[in-house]
Each structure stands twice: as C-alpha cells, then as structure tokens.
Structure 1
Amino acid sequence: AALRGHTGRVNCVRWVRRRDRGDYWNLKLGKIFSCVQLVKSIPLKGHTEAVFAVDAVYQSDEPDLNLLIASAASDSTVRIWSRHGSEGNTFLKLRITYWLNKNDECLSIRLPILACGGDDCKISLFIQQNGQFQKTLILPGHEDWIRGVEWAVCGEDLFLASCAQDCLIRIWKVCAKLKKPPETEDGSIKLKENVFTVKDGDTSYAVSLESVLAGHENWVYAVHWQPSFSKDGSMQQPMRILSASMDKTVIIWEPDKESGVWLEQVRVGEVGGNTLGFFDCQFSPDGSMIIAHAFHGALHLWKQSTVNKKEWTPEVVISGHFNSVEDVKWDPEGEFIISVGFDQTTRLFAPWKRKEEMEVTWHEIARPQVHGYDLRCLAMIGRFEFVSGADEKVLRVFRAPKNFIENFSNITGIPMEKLCSHSSDLPEGATVPALGLSNKAVFEGDMAVQPDEDEESFNTISNQYPEIYFQPLILTEPPPEDHLLQNTLWPEIQKLYGHGYEIFCVACNNSNTVIASACKASKKEHAAIILWSTTSWKKLQSLSFHNLTVTQLAFSPDDSFLLAVSRDRNWSLWRKQDSSESGPIFTCCAHTDKNTAVHSRIIWSCDWTPDSKYFITGSRDKKVIIWGQCDLSVISEGNELDSIKPCSTVLDAGDSVTAVGISRVLTPDGRYIVAVGLENGKIILYTWKQSGKEPTLADWTTTVEIDNSQSHALAVKRLCWRHHAGRAGHNDENSSKWLQLASCGADHCVKIFNVNRFAL
C-alpha cells in the first residue's frame, strides 16, 4: 500500500510497537504542513517548519492507555504529544515545547527519559516528572554533530547509543543508584557518573559512559540496537548494535562474552562505485538480516549464513531511481522497460521468473548508463539498443553487451537463441576508464591477461585500475546494488553532435532507421528538430518550425508522419517523402498557429492511434484533444492545413496534463484506450471512438481513475503502453485479456499497471 496524506517530502518513518498484542502503528512525518500524522488518526499540527525526527512509546502495557510522541523540527523545537485512549477519533494534545538548537536532528524516547542530540555535540536528557518533561542532564563527549541516538532496555538497565560526525559511537548506561554505594579500596579507578532523581518515585539514577566504539573512518549517520525482546518487552542478551557510516560500511558490534569489551563482529558495505556511504540501517526482527539505505537512494540487504554466523551475503532487494524519472520505454518485444531520470542513471527493469515458483516480480537487472548529467529522454532502437538525451548537447547511443543478454535470459527464462543470434560478436561488457566519460566496450580478449604475464600487460586497464574494471558474472537472479553500480554498463557505440543546448526529447521510428531529437530553445533557430540515420549515424535533416522548446516527438506507427508538440502551444505534422539519394525527407504538411491553436498553454505530450489515423495532444491548460480526419494517408497535396482538425470534443482532465498515451490494442468493441497523466500524479483511463463527422459529447468515456494508493504522488512524466497484449514474464492462457501500462513520475517512481481490456 502507498499511504498518501502529506503534501511534502516525508522525512522520517517510525513503527510504534505494541508490546501486549504485537501489532503496529505507522508514524509519518511531513514537511509542508509541518505536522506529525498518525494513521487512522488526525494530523498533529504545531511545528512551524519541516519535521525531521520522531519517536513514540506506549506509557502502559494496557492497550487503551497513553501513547507518547516526541517530534523535532527545523523550527528549533521538540514537542511532546500524548494520546489517551485508542479510539480512531481521539486527538493528540500538545503538552510541552522545548527550544533547542536550530539543527537538532535526532531524538529517542524511552520512559521516563527523552534523549535529543544536535549540532552542539551534546546529548540532552529530558526526564518525565509529575507528568512533565524537564531538561535534567547533558552528556558531553562527542566532538562533532550528533547524528543518531537510540535507547535499549536490558534487564533493569537502560542503554543509550549515540553516533556522530566525529566517526565514533558512544554507549551510555543508565541504572538505578543505590543509596549507599559499596565501599571500594583507595586508588581504584571508577567511571564518572552523572546522577539524576525522578521525583515521582524519588529514585536516583546514575548515567555512565559504558564504551566508545571506534572503527568507522567517516561520519556515522545511524546506530540501532538489535530488537531482541522477551515476553515482558525487555531486551534480552546478546546485545548487538548496528551502525551505518559515510565510509561505505555497516558494522555489527557486540560485547565479548569473557571481557565484556565491545568489538566489531561483522563489516559489510559497498566497494567502489560513485557513492557516498550509508544514511541509515536496520536489523530484521530476528537479527538474521541487515538492510541499509545508501546516499544515492539504494537499499542494500545482507543475510547471515546459517553455517558461518560471521558470513553475510548480499540478497535481492527492491531498487529504483532516487530523483525525478523523466522518461520510460518498453522494448519492442515488451519484455523489459528502460527509464531515465534526474539521478543521472539509465535503469533497466525486467520480470524475474523463478524456476521453482510461478511468482513473477519486477526488478532492476542492469544500469546501462551512469552519467554526469541529469538524463531527460530516451528511445529504443530495436531490442537491445537505445539512445538517450541529457542536460548536455550530445545524444549517446548504447548497445547491450553479451554478458547482459546471457543474464537477461537466465533471469527472465527466455531462451538465449530467441534473444540474440550473433552474441559471439558482441563485447562482454563495458567499463569507464579513469578520467573517462564514455562507456568503453570490453571484449573477451581484454580479460584474458594474467597478473604474472610480461611487463606489457601492466599497461592494460584491468591491471592498472582493477577496482573499476568489468568482471563478467553469470546471474540467475537480479543482481545486488554493488553489481548494478559497476558491472552492468552497456558500451557506448556513438555520440551525435548537432544541438546547441540541452537535449529535451528524442524518438525513433518503428523501423529503427531514423532518430528525431530536439533541445531546449528560446529562439526558432535552436528549436529545430534534427533527424539522424541509425545506419550511418549522420545528420539527415533539420526541421525548423517551432519558436520554443519541442517537448515531445512521436512517429506514427506506419512511419509516414512525425508529430512534434512545443512550448509555443502549437503542434506540427511532418510527412515522409521518399528520397533515394540521402534517405527519407520530411516536409511540414500541417500545423497550428496563433489563429488556429486550440491549446492555450504548453503542450506537454502527444501520441498516435495504432492505425495512424489520429493523434492526441495534452496540455498544461488541462485539455486533451484528438486530431485527424478520416485517414491521414489520403491527404492530398495543398489541403493538409485545413484537413486536420479536432476529431473529439475537448476533454477537460481537471488538472494540467503532463503525459498521454494510446494503447496499440483496442477494446473488444473497437474503441481506442487512452491514458492521461496529470500534474497531481493521477492517471485516468478513457476510451474514445469517433462517432461521426462532428465531435459529440459521447465520444469520450471515462473507464478507470487510479486511486491515490496506486497513483503517483507528484507529476506523471511519461506514459507508455506495452505494444502487445499480455503481461511480460507471464505465459497467460488468455493473454489477449491483459494490457500493461508503464508510467514514471517526479516522485522518483516507475510503475507498471495491469489493465483488463475486457473490463474497459
């Protein structure tokens, strides 16, 4: 499920454990409204700026009694909220406000103590007394910004773990203090104790530094205790701590059984790649798995071996973009999708078909391009070749290597002979040389160099830079993040130069012979569309018409026309004229202008019907329009400008239209299936059929409006239908029943929807 209620970035998520019944509540933090929201309850409004840390605890084992919540925000306050009763409409009331430092970033609550850490390098302890929290103690020691604190109970003692940018982890012990301490010999060494008293019970507690853990070489961002609980809710031995650092490692710490000294037991992490380490980490409930969240948005999962307890191996985990996803395309055979985004990566997702099970799940199986610029668009050129455009003036063309095709066959279950008949001619993989920017092909002969060969072998890339060099692996399951980062690049086979500004859109015709591209533009000379040959990679033609950026290009399914839509609120239609000398030449056969334009704002998207008779446009003015005539192929010379008009009524989608897509498979009664994506993240499916010579109100039919739990949270950037009926990875008996729609959005998500066309 996707829980949507916030209107800004979610900064923190916490589970609140209910000890008596073992069920959970989900706690979320929002940014725009600066509130804490409890699912099945009301938002907690009080903070005036973004909330970035939260923790919660039940004050009683009884199911219907107090829930205490602490939240910290950029308004320099920590606020305490309490709930009495478990009814869904019970409100939570603001109790106390504490003014702290501007950048206090972490807190943890365990009755009766709240611990807060910030950029003053100190931990502040607030003690609950007489129903109020009062600042009682400050724990110094860290020498830089404190990034994480967490409580744990072990028997009758309370432990606090803290981590900071000084690369250290500190463990503090809180225990009840006897009124008369035991006598000790003179000269003995004792740890310094800080003592505080809880007035409600008139009990004194002593806080002492238990241990300092030094092992990380960079900022430690998170520290967590293994959640090993007994029936009464107290933590049991063995106690273990998990820490995550910017040094690209995650460490498990555990006290030695004999000496009690805390030691590093296991270290896992990333090797190589363009990464900056880990932000957070967690144990699984039984402590047999570790999950970590990396700087670039990736999740890493490791599982403990049942034979060797100190051996942890990477496991398959979900992955995806960590910034806005700008474009997504199906391969022509409908067996995988490729997406590009502002996280500067191109990612390939495919269905994983387990041999022993019938279950099919989608995973990222390759990262063909890791770029230095934000990627904005791509187009497939056949099955295993694509061209991408980024915030640079160059188009780059990539082709799949042999190792990818082999692994793709293993993971999807598609026989190798059906995928590629000439795989022996392909390079094994690709790598990026030191100080290089392009993916260079790696052939089998390049990898045959042995370390003990003659002096000349030292000059090869594999020996000079072994950590960045491609190493082929045979995979039977989706690769882990380490492999995706470095070992799944595709060789770059061509660069296309010609545009004067950042590339904005690109398209390839259905016969894979021509590429059309356009760049950002504020003048007519820069808004020209460039056509390229995929055989010679030479520039074929420059098409000049629009005055501002062309936002999307689309070839008709029969390759007779090229459609362009633009920021200047107009569209242009270009007809292919056969030319034996230099390839096809396109001429403008129809367009709108300031007198004939229907759209009043930017036209963001366009697409064609499968029969090439009509095309669709979607605009920021909330309008969706289908254009054409009876048959575009019979347009006679000289009357094109007047013959193409709106064939549908103007559809008001209710919000700015950012993406449109028409399925190549019709409904059983012959209606076109149209998907419309909106700026608010909604995706709506319509069917349309021309009912006569003039548009009527009955030509549009709304069939499905995807609900909030499945739609995007931000603007839909692209919609792309699978070209064939059926579901990728499935051998459906009734394959004609299903269609698949891929979407991507500014919320960093790529989604695939199964659509039952008989229900439309």
Structure 2
Amino acid sequence: ISFSQRIKSFSVTLEGHTEAVCAVDAVYQSDEPDLDLLIASAASDSTVRIWSRHGSEGNLFLNAATTYWLNKNVIFNSVGLDFPQNIFSLFLVRNFIQFQKTLILPGHEDWIRGIEWAVCDEDLFLASCAQDCLIRIWKVCMKSKESSETEDYSIRLKENVFTVKDTGTTYAVTLESVLAGHENWVYAVHWQPSFTKGGSIQQPMRILSASMDKTVILWEPDKESGVWLEQVRVGEVGGNTLGFFDCQFSPDGSMIIAHAFHGAFHLWKQSSVNKKEWTPDVVISGHFNSVEDVKWDPEGEFIISVGLDQTTRLFAPWKRKHETEVTWHEVARPQVHGYDMRCLAMIGRFQFVSGADEKVLRVFRAPKNFIENFSNITGIPHSSELPEGATVPALGLSNKAVFEGDMPAQPAEYEETFNTISNQYPEIYFQPLILTEPPPEDHLLQNTLWPEIQKLYGHGYEIFCVACNNSNTLIASACKASKKEHAAIILWSTTSWKKLQSLSFHNLTVTQLAFSPNDQFLLAVSRDRNWSLWRKQDSSESGPVFSCCAYTDKNTAVHSRIIWSCDWTPDSKYFVTGSRDKKVIIWGQCDLSMPAEGNIPDLIKPCSTVLDAMDSVTAVSISHVLTPDGRYIVAVGLENGKIILYTWKQSGQEPALADWTKCVEMDNSQSHALAVKRLCWRHHEGRAGHNDQKNSEWLQLASCGADHCVKIFNVNRFAL
C-alpha cells in the first residue's frame, strides 16, 4: 500500500476547538490496545483538548502541550501564556482520563516560548525558554522517604515536591541551571535526540536554542564542573532577517537546522576534524508568501519568481559531482524589496524588469560575481565587463552597483559595522565569493543582489503586469485601475528606457499582457471581461508603434467574469484566454501570422469549443513544442490549485470539429494547495540541467501559486 493510501485510510477530522489550533502532540500506549492513542491539541480558544482513539475528550484551560512517558503515566507539560504570571504546570494522567494539577514552577519574567523534556539515567530534565532571553533547566527526580525524613543541614537548591496520588510516589523538582547568552527573545529550545548504545537508550546532555538575536546556540555541561556552558554559536552576521523561530538537531547531532523569521531554513554541519567548527550547508529555500509570477530565462537554464514576500528569487538546477541526480536550488536573490512583488519579465538572459505595489518599474542586470558563480555551477560562459555585485543603501529600495574598487579592503570593516548597536539600519555590504555549489542562506541574503540599472515612471497606481517582446526591444506594462484613464498600457523602449506609447482601451485593471512570438501583436486581458489585440505598425518618429486591431465588447464577449490569463501559440496563429467563469477559449479563426485581408475584428472569433475547466481559471500557458502529431499543449491552472494538461488542434473550419483532449490532471500531491498564479513552459525541448536538449521526449512546466510554492514538472510529450 502506498504512503498516500495509508494516510487516506487512517484520516479523521477532530472537531471541537473554536479558534486556530497552534500545537498538537500524540503518544501511543501499546499495552492497552483499546486506548492505544492519545492526542493533545491546543488552540487560541485557551483550551487543551485530549482525544483518545474512541473519541472521548477532556478540556483544560491551557495553551500548549507536549508529552513524555514516566512509569506508564503521561506527563503533560503545558505552557501558560498568561503574562505576567508566566508559569508552566505539570499534569499527570493515568488511564488517559484522570488529570491532576500537581505543581507550579515560577521563574521566567516574560512569556514562555518553548519547553522540552529529556531523560538522563533515572532523572528527568525539562528545559524552558522565554522572552526574558533566558533558558531554565529543571531536574525532576524520584524522592525516597528515607531522604525526606533525614535531617540534612547542607546547602541545597530549593526543591518543589509533589506526590502522585495513584501511586504515592513523591518527586522533587529543582532548578538545575539558568542559561544566559542570548540578547533577544528565545523562541525555541531542544535537546539532542536520544540514541541506542549497548542495547540501552541514551540521550546526550546537549541543548540547542534559537533566538530573535539572529543566533542559534549549542549548550553543554562542562565535564569537570557540570556547569552549563556555550559551546557553539551560529547565525547571521547581516542581512534582512529578524532572527530564528525554531531549531532542531539531526538524529546523530552532527547537523543543526533553524527556521528564520523570513521563512528560510538555515543548515549547519559539524566538521569531522574540529568538533567546535560548524559550517553552513546547502538547504532548500523558497518564498514565504504567495508567489505571483514566474519566468524561464530565454535559454531555459533557470527560472526567476516574484512574490508577496517582497523578494525576487532565482532558481537553477545543480548536479553534484559524481552524481546523476539534478536538484533545484535558489542560487540568487536579485531583489529584496520594500513592497509586495507582483510581476516580472525577462529582458534577454541576465536582465529583467519587475513590478510591485508601487508606481515604478525597476530594471535589473546580473553582476559579474553572479555570472561567474552561475558559470561555475552550470558551465555557461560569462562576460567580465560588469559590476562585481550590488548593495542596498541604508533606508533605500534601490540596489546600488558595487565595483571592484568600491569594496573595503579589510573584511573587519563589515563586522565592525554590523556589531555597532546604534546602527539599526546598516547598509547590506557586498562581499564577492567564489561558489561551486548553491549558496547558503546568509550568502543569499547579503551577496546575491543584482544592480538596478533603471527606473521607469509613468503609472498612477500599483504595477500589476509586465511583458517583454521576444526581440527584447519593448516592454509593456499596466497598473491597477478602476477607470479607463488609469488602465492604459504603457510601452517602453529597452534601449533608451523612454516611454513610447500609451494604449488606452480597457476600463479596469489589465490582468496580463502577452506579445506574440513573432512580435507583431500585443494581447491584453482585463478585469472588465474583455481582451484587446494590438498590431505593430511601421513606426516613425511621430506615428504610433501599436494600434488596436481587434477587441471584444459587451456584444461580442464570451467570457462573463474576469479574464485572468492569456497566451499565444508558438506559430502566432492563435491565442488562448482563461477566465473566472471557468472557461478556456482559443481565438483566431484567421491566420494572425499572415497579413489580414479584410476586417480583422470580424475574422478573430473563437476557433475552439468552450472548455469548461470546472473551476475558476487563473493561469493558462501554451508550450512552444508541439506533440508528435502536431497538437498544441495547453496547461490550465485553477483557483483550487489543480493543474490540467490539454491538447488542441483545429481540425476543421467549424469550432465543433476542434475538440479539446484532456491528457493529465495532476493529483493533490502534485498540485498547489491554493490558487495557481502563473504557468510558464520552458521554450526548448529537454530538461534544464540535463544534456537532453535535442530530440528529447521531455518538456518542463514551471508553476507558482498562492501556497508559497514554485514547482517544476517534467512532461513526457510522447505520452500526451
């Protein structure tokens, strides 16, 4: 049975909380099969609910729960976030039903953010961390009657004693240590996982903590004195991160992974020679908010995406030495912005234009250091007549080019700047690095920006869509609009960066723009439920560059809702539109690639049957490579996250003879969890990173969605 089938067969929904669930934990008791599963869930409704396998439940006025076994009783350690008390309590349960409040341990002076149990020999340890920047370690051990009755005048730590009513066993809780080393809130604390040695389970006495001070600290008791000391500190020197939310050991304790405020993982690996040395390692990364647009570079070697996390990210394939597997990694973060990013378009190979929730378009060009590192990974030749990198001035939004002579001679200048307490908004300095593998997160944050070479002013509201023609000479852009005067499309020259023309037709926001592959037409679709087609004219100094040659209106429109997306067939004969009304339509009827004889608006009509996608269509894209029998391959993205592949070919003059063929509907494990925002086919046959570009059976489709994901699919065109 497959993993997905197993998950489905055992799935059940537990309903009871009235607000968001923020923590969950579970434990098995194998010797009682009728009640072998216990689940604790905590929510923002200030309750912890306990679920048994048969559905019985109990309610407690608490906020979070973890579990640990002790003498076949389950200890539920619950953290109360009821400032200013800031206490945590121990609850013991037997037979999964009876709960007993046993002890209150005060100490932290601000909200408790994390707790975790550990066992060493016969003693139980509890670590807690809080917003008071401190970590407290508590020791729980069984207290014998003899020791409690014997008078002992030696100096000892204060003991908090409690007795389990069912067994009469008495336990003592003492404060083992207070760890002070972080300079900001400590969000997580974890013990190194236990391992088996000599047939017995052992757990190393090592603690990992993550803080908002941008560091992760590894703590360990001194072998001679037993005093807990800081052994290793890893984390960020600069960048735009605000700190770490969580951290974990690898099972053998040789690696550390942390989750940062800006949505990325950070991974460090222990040196096999020097146990005190930890170095950053390659890790997965991606957007941490909705991804709005994605594009392939013209050569199909990498993709660039933009999202509402205010970043532009570049992903490329990487093949490790002596391995055949190709994996995709983020190799650059060309733009870290102050506004949510909405759209982008490639201008040649190493240049792009992006639009955000501001009135300005920004143009970026790859620096020398990126192209050199990209060449090291992919083997692509590079040019040296470029700046080394880019930096962001303090309180600025523009990426300033950094040339070789601009960089400080000593690295100590960087460290001194970052460690200055008064410098709350430091300039993100650039340091060129030679890379042969994808960069770690700290390098992505600081050293992979692309210099901004141009700003384009002219729109009155936030930029919504942008496109570049295939000869890289023109840029078309549009902004959010509720009136016709603001919904105009602006054309820009990529040589002079001047505004060439304003194309006014639509009454509401233009949602997507697409140049035809032969650069003769510009297609626009809009929230006003119409599309417009603009033909390129013989330009002169005073004449227009494009003129409207076809459009729909309330009498000729087929779509009844917002048209979200559009695309062209590779031969420039037809174009496709997808709408919220669940319809996908291919238009053309006449060969748009040839000079028209007669009135073009009368000749451009639906030339396919209306495809009912069964849900709102948010993205469409047509492959530049056809099926072996000459059919167009159309990818359709839906609001529910599904991606469906169709093929289409006009087989007659009547639309009824040109039917769609549904080839693939991606299952839930492959689809997006939320709306598909954009689809983009790789222009060439083959797969990026593989040497199968010629006569390949494979195509690649990139997608992005509101679920923060960028996905790349391998599609076998011979199987369609």
Matched, 1:198 2:164: yes
Paired position in structure 2 for 1:128: 93
Counterpart of 2:577 (choices 603, 617, 621) is 617
- Asked if residue 631 in structure 1 is aligned to residue 591 in structure 2, the reply is yes
Shift of 1:631: 0.4
Q: Which amino acid aligns with 2:397?
A: L
Equivalent in the alignment of 1:78? 48
Unaligned regions of 5+ residues in structure 2, if any? 418-422
What is the aligned counterpart of 1:180 among 125, 146, 151? 146
Tell me which of 59, 83, 97 is aligned to 1:97.
59
Q: Secondary structure at the match of 1:668?
A: coil
Query: Equivalent residues in 2 for 1:443-458 (5 A)?
Result: 443-447=403-407, 449=409
- Indicate the SS of the match to 1:191: coil
Structure 1 position 475, deviation (Å): 0.0
For 1:695, the aligned partner's letter is P
Question: What is the correspondence of 1:337-356 to structure 2 with a 5 Å cutoff?
Answer: 337-356=303-322
Q: Name 1:227's counterpart in structure 2.
A: 193
Q: Quote the offset at 1:182 in angstroms.
A: 6.5
- Equivalent residue number for residue 33 of structure 1: none
Equivalent-residue separation in structure 2 for 1:274 and 1:495 (angstroms): 23
Q: 1:59 pairs with 16, 19, 29, which one?
A: 29
Q: How far, CA to CA, are the matches of 2:352 and 2:645 in structure 1? A: 28
Counterparts in 2 of 1:708 and 1:186: CA distance versus 1, 3 Å: closer
2: CA distance between counterparts of 1:659 and 1:537? 29
Query: Among residues 72, 76, 79, which one is paired with 1:114 in the alignment?
Result: 76
Aligned to 1:10: none
- Distance in 2 (CA, whole Å) between partners of 1:325 and 1:644 is 33
Q: Distance in 2 between matches of 1:150 and 1:72?
A: 16
Question: What's 1:541 paired with?
Answer: 501
Classify 1:305/1:231 alpha carbon distance in 2 versus 1 (closer, same or farther; 3 Å).
Answer: closer
Map of 1:678 onto structure 2: 638
Answering whether residue 528 of structure 2 is matched by residue 558 of structure 1, we say no
Q: 1:424: Cα distance to partner?
A: 2.4
Alpha-carbon shift at residue 734 of structure 1 (Å): 6.4
- 1:523 and 2:493 equivalent? no
Query: How far apart are residue 683 of structure 1 and its match?
Result: 0.1
Q: Distance in 1 between matches of 2:624 and 2:551?
A: 25
The equivalent of 2:395 in structure 1 is 435
**Residue 720 of structure 1: SS of its match in structure 2?**
strand
Change (3 A) 1:451 1:385: closer
Aligned to 2:420: none
* CA distance 1:522–1:203, shift in 2 (3 Å): same
Indicate the residue corresponding to 2:616 in structure 1: 656
How far did residue 636 of structure 1 move? Answer: 3.5
Relative to 1, partners in 2 of residues 1:558 and 1:447: Cα closer, same or farther, differing over 3 Å? same
Task: Give the drift of 1:691.
Answer: 1.7
Query: What does 1:423-502 correspond to in 2, within 5 Å?
Result: 423-447=383-407, 449=409, 468-502=428-462
Alpha-carbon distance between aligned partners in 2 of 1:175 and 1:393, rounded to the nearest angstrom: 64
> For residue 15 of structure 1, what is the aligned residue in structure 2?
none
Question: 1:62, CA displacement in angstroms?
Answer: 8.4
Instruction: Provide the residue aligned with 2:183 in structure 1.
Output: 217
Whether the 8 Å contact between 2:684 and 2:693 is mirrored in structure 1 is no
The residue that corresponds to 1:570 in the other structure is 530
Report the equivalent of 2:218: 252
Which whole-Å CA distance do the structure 1 matches of 2:510 and 2:4 have between them? 34
Q: What is residue 50 of structure 1 aligned with on the other side?
A: 20
Q: Distance in 1 between matches of 2:129 and 2:203?
A: 22
1:616-640 deviation digits (Å, cap 9, x = unpaired): 0000000000000230134537611
Q: Which residue identity is paired with 1:55?
A: D
Structure 1 residues 285-304: aligned runs within 5 Å: 285-304=251-270
Give the secondary structure class of the aligned counterpart of 1:743.
strand
Q: How far does residue 235 in structure 1 lie from its aligned partner after superposition?
A: 5.3
Question: How far is 1:738 from its partner?
Answer: 0.5
Structure 1 residues 477 and 61, CA, compared in 2 at 3 Å: closer, same or farther?
A: farther
Change (3 A) 1:3 1:230: closer
Deviation per CA, 1:499-552, whole angstroms, max 9, x where unpaired? 000000000000000000000000000000000000000000000000000000
**8 Å CA contact retained: 1:500, 1:526:** yes
1:704 matched to 2:664: yes
Aligned residue number for residue 88 of structure 1: none
CA distance in 1, matches of 2:50, 2:175: 27
The one of 323, 326, 329 equivalent to 1:357 is: 323
* Cα separation, partners in 2 of 1:105 and 1:183, compared to 1, 3 Å: closer
Structure 1: runs of 5 or more not aligned: 6-24, 27-37, 84-91, 459-463
From the superposition, tell whether residues 57 and 155 of structure 1 become closer, same or farther in structure 2 (CA, over 3 Å): farther
Amino acid at match of 2:37: L
Mean CA deviation greater in 556-565 or 245-254: 245-254
- 1:306-385 equivalent positions in 2, closer than 5 A: 306-385=272-351
Bigger Cα displacement from structure 2, 491-500 vs 262-271 = 262-271
Counterparts of 2:228 and 2:28, CA distance in 1: 30
Partner of 1:747: 707
Determine which of 205, 230, 242 is the counterpart of 2:208.
242
In the other structure, the counterpart of 1:19 is none
- Contact between 1:727 and 1:735, CA under 8 Å: does it hold in 2? no
Q: Which moved more, 1:200-209 or 1:244-253?
A: 200-209
CA distance in 1, matches of 2:34, 2:250: 28
Q: Residues 39 and 428 from structure 1, CA distance in 2 versus in 1: closer, same or farther, beyond 3 angstroms?
A: farther
Shift of 1:435: 3.0
How far 1:63 moved relative to its partner?
Answer: 8.6
Q: Report how far residue 41 of structure 1 moved.
A: 3.4
Q: Secondary structure at the match of 1:445?
A: helix
* C-alpha separation in 1, matches of 2:106 and 2:616: 53
CA distance in 2, matches of 1:398, 1:698: 43
Residues 188 and 227 (structure 1), Cα distance of their counterparts in 2 relative to 1, 3 Å cut: same
Q: 1:233 to 1:317 in 2, by over 3 A?
A: farther
Secondary structure of 2:147's aligned partner: coil
**How many residue pairs end up in the alignment?**
703
Once residues 697 and 119 of structure 1 are traced to their aligned partners in structure 2, the CA distance between those partners, rounded to angstroms, is 66
Query: Could you say if the C-alpha distance between residues 568 and 635 of structure 1 is closer, same or farther in structure 2, counting changes exceeding 3 Å?
Result: farther
How far residue 237 of structure 1 moved from its aligned partner, in angstroms, is 5.0
Q: How many Å apart are 1:238 and its aligned residue?
A: 3.0
- Which AA in structure 2 matches 1:430? A
TM-score normalised by L of structure 1: 0.89
Cα separation, 2, equivalents of 1:276 and 1:580 = 53
> After superposition, what is the alpha-carbon deviation per residue over 1:467-487, rounded to whole angstroms, capped at 9, x for unaligned?
722111000000000000010
- TM normalised by structure 2 equals 0.94
CA 1:202 to 1:217, structure 2 compared with 1: closer, same or farther past 3 Å?
same
Whether 1:281 aligns to 2:247 is yes
Q: Percent identity?
A: 85
448 and 68 in structure 1: CA distance in 2 versus 1, 3 angstrom threshold: closer
For residues 665 and 94 of structure 1, the distance between their equivalents in structure 2, rounded to whole angstroms, comes to: 58
**Matched residues in 1 for 2:632 and 2:224: separation?**
74
Residue among 104, 119, 131 paired with 1:153: 119
Q: Contact conserved, 1:227 with 1:235, CA < 8 A, in 2?
A: no
Residue type of the partner of 2:74?
P
Q: Which moved more, 1:257-266 or 1:716-725?
A: 257-266
Change (3 A) 1:213 1:363: same
Letter in 1 for 2:159: E
Deviation at 1:186, TM superposition (A): 6.4
- Of residues 38-47 and 249-258 in structure 1, the stretch that sits farther from structure 2 once superposed is 38-47
Check conservation: 1:108, 1:116, Cα contact below 8 A: no
Secondary structure of 2:375's counterpart equals: helix
